[in-house]
Structure 1
């Protein structure tokens, strides 16, 4: 029996029909897509190892590698260290937001990083809209077509509020966006070409992972420690590959809550200048001025972007934010905005900017910070003795699970106890293996009593250990 015949017998899947020797990678990627569409390949199915499939099809291993990478870029496959290449499921490596609807019965949601629910938020919004309704000129201005960069008056109001928070940004440096996620996408789409590389912490915001995948970018993970991205790992990566942009959350990483020191920030800037990297800083998770480090746009104004959004302080549903950009790159970004949807909605900006300028937002932020302090104190009390990390302004904690727990089993067993968590896979960049850790969000419960109940259930689960009926993987 030939090597080809042996390989064909062992392969878990082969393309339907005859595949000629030397078939190009895109042809095989198309065949993978057709097999998934027909149901021949199902979510979770493992594709044959690359060498085995190469032997079965009598093509080079390089052809199979490129085919798998192309299918992964299309969102069809996912590759993880230790588990091979599999067909992506609907849950796969992106967060499933089915739990955005209100929890019922005894279910407690600790999975979503959202502002703490409170009646004050709704009352303030009602008052803001009433005040706007009495300002005909403001309404007229908001309902007109806006410039690509956004309403000039709103940019001035936003710059003034940010400067009051010790984020000294000029209005001319700002472009208004439909939230932070949109600003991420705008920078990548406008400045990075398909196939080019961007880098981030090995564990990072799933929205950034989705943006890079959607745009066909090579998203590379960089090793982390308690301060986030390691400069030595970044420099080694830049020596091997051409990286165009760094995505960072230096105040507290999502999901690990790592906070970057001033020395670490300056070392990252040194490497960025040496290898000509752009720096995209995500500041959506708002941190009070006294706890915030130096933003990268102050350390390297010629190459650093800064993203701000009202989603964590006012409302996630408001969808309003801004992007601070180097002046030389603003024309490209403005062109990108114009091509996408012309400009951000004026009426949404009017509500958000009036909310910020009125002083009501500061009252809401102060209340939320006080509530966060109480919730973090509870977190410390409940998980004393366990390995977890959190930031005082953060909406979540990162809990390292003790042996023999595995994250997938912990999430599943927590669900049976009436607590919803997100597994670590959505935060993993590329082939980064999922750690045995979970993100615990402390903000979704309306009351601190409900949060305490949920945290106690998780603590009891940790103490009891995995159920003997739950398979460890």
Structure 2
């Protein structure tokens, strides 16, 4: 009788390799929901490891939510088990009394609906623009739309030429297009945006976890990591890392570019979380234009439902990206790009961005004041705070207790790349609360949960 025997990656402790292999097998449907995992002794013999290694591997997979141990029966794949999910969907901003601080949504803007109405009226009043918006267009988008994006990005301190841009359908679509065109093995910080983890999994691309610290990506360790496990693409958020809020200083940026040139690595620079010019460093695409794809989107500025953005793509990569656009959606939706163009041209986008920065700063100060004793990491213009939990507190339990208090946040585990254990930390998106009053109420409840004594050992058995 044959049993399922995984292929271990060789990266990290064997028990974690086993847990990761279980997760990959579930994602690829190699292990279906309800499947019983092999008996520990038989799998230990097949892999040439100790029974203790299998026990720890199964335990790690259970901790990650993929399997469940049944006393006297064995370990089984949970129904519907997959890598810990990260939902991008929220029905409303405070649904049924639940304050959802799990999503990086732009703060509500009372002027947004009027701005949308003006943008739609502008298109309707221009028969030529309306005709273009309803017709087939080139894969990279209309010249007029790319020119509007280029002018606005340049005004925002991100100088680009229209000929460098490809219109896409927002940041997630930009990641998908970039990784589809580039292929190969992808590296990202060990805690990184769940979107890149999801896209890499969808495309069957292996992810390499990179070390980072309070100042962002540990650039001095890149060469050694590349020697150990070579990668072709490096995904990075240098201005406002998700979830830690870290920002790369200028020295690290230049060292990163030197490394990428030396090892012939592509850079995907995610700039979707837009910050004011004073809060940003030199864009990587300005330091290494020949090997950097830059992602810009209006989802975090104007509205999440406007699935539109722009990719700054090096000339040598442009046709490969355009081919992916053709194969996936034929073209970016010109009607949406036209709405965004009107929004920008009218000046409404600039006014909305200014209001957003003011609102975010007010909310950031609320978080800093309310949770000062827990030293939250925030950044001016950012949407979220990163909180390392007090000693003895576990993120899973804190998330559960906050859910009981009708508050949603994300644990560090949702952002994990590779098999490293997640730190005991949470991310809370203060931008997502309906208003400041809702945020103030949520912060009181969050502080109460964090300040409560950690459960004693006998309580957690």
TM tier, smaller = 0.7 to 0.9
Separation (CA, whole Å) in 2 of partners of 1:453 and 1:23: 48
After TM superposition, the structure 1 = structure 2 runs for residues 292-371 of structure 1, keeping only pairs within 5 Å, are: 292-371=280-359
1:183–1:323 CA contact under 8 A, matched in 2: yes
Q: 1:454 to 1:23 in 2, by over 3 A?
A: closer
1:422 aligns with 2:410: yes
Report the equivalent of 1:100: 91
Name the SS of the counterpart of 1:452 in structure 2. Answer: helix
After TM superposition, the structure 1 = structure 2 runs for residues 74-473 of structure 1, keeping only pairs within 5 Å, are: 86=67, 87=77, 90=81, 92-97=83-88, 99-192=90-183, 196-466=184-454, 472=460
1:244–1:278 CA contact under 8 A, matched in 2: yes
Separation (CA, whole Å) in 1 of partners of 2:349 and 2:227: 45
2:182–2:233 CA contact under 8 A, matched in 1: no
Separation (CA, whole Å) in 1 of partners of 2:200 and 2:382: 25
| CA-to-aligned-CA distance 1:367-423 (integer Å, 9 cap, x gap) | 111111111111111011213211101100000100110000000001111211122
Q: Report the Cα offset of residue 127 of structure 1.
A: 1.5
| CA-to-aligned-CA distance 1:251-307 (integer Å, 9 cap, x gap) | 011111011101110111111111111000000001111211111110001101100
Report the equivalent of 1:72: none
TM-score, normalization: structure 1? 0.84
Q: 1:321 to 1:22 in 2, by over 3 A?
A: closer
| CA-to-aligned-CA distance 1:221-267 (integer Å, 9 cap, x gap) | 11111121101222211112221000000001111101110111011
1:81–1:431 CA contact under 8 A, matched in 2: no
Q: 1:282 to 1:235 in 2, by over 3 A?
A: same
Name the SS of the counterpart of 1:317 in structure 2. Answer: coil
1:309–1:320 CA contact under 8 A, matched in 2: yes
1:80–1:431 CA contact under 8 A, matched in 2: no
Separation (CA, whole Å) in 2 of partners of 1:108 and 1:399: 18
Name the SS of the counterpart of 1:348 in structure 2. Answer: helix
Separation (CA, whole Å) in 2 of partners of 1:78 and 1:353: 52
Name the SS of the counterpart of 1:268 in structure 2. Answer: helix
Separation (CA, whole Å) in 1 of partners of 2:382 and 2:93: 22
2:25–2:31 CA contact under 8 A, matched in 1: no
Unmatched 5+ stretches in structure 1:
1-17, 66-76
| CA-to-aligned-CA distance 1:157-208 (integer Å, 9 cap, x gap) | 110111111111111111111111011011111121xxx3110111111010
2:101–2:432 CA contact under 8 A, matched in 1: yes
Name the SS of the counterpart of 1:119 in structure 2. Answer: coil
Aligned residues: 429
Separation (CA, whole Å) in 1 of partners of 2:328 and 2:273: 25
Q: Report the Cα offset of residue 96 of structure 1.
A: 2.9
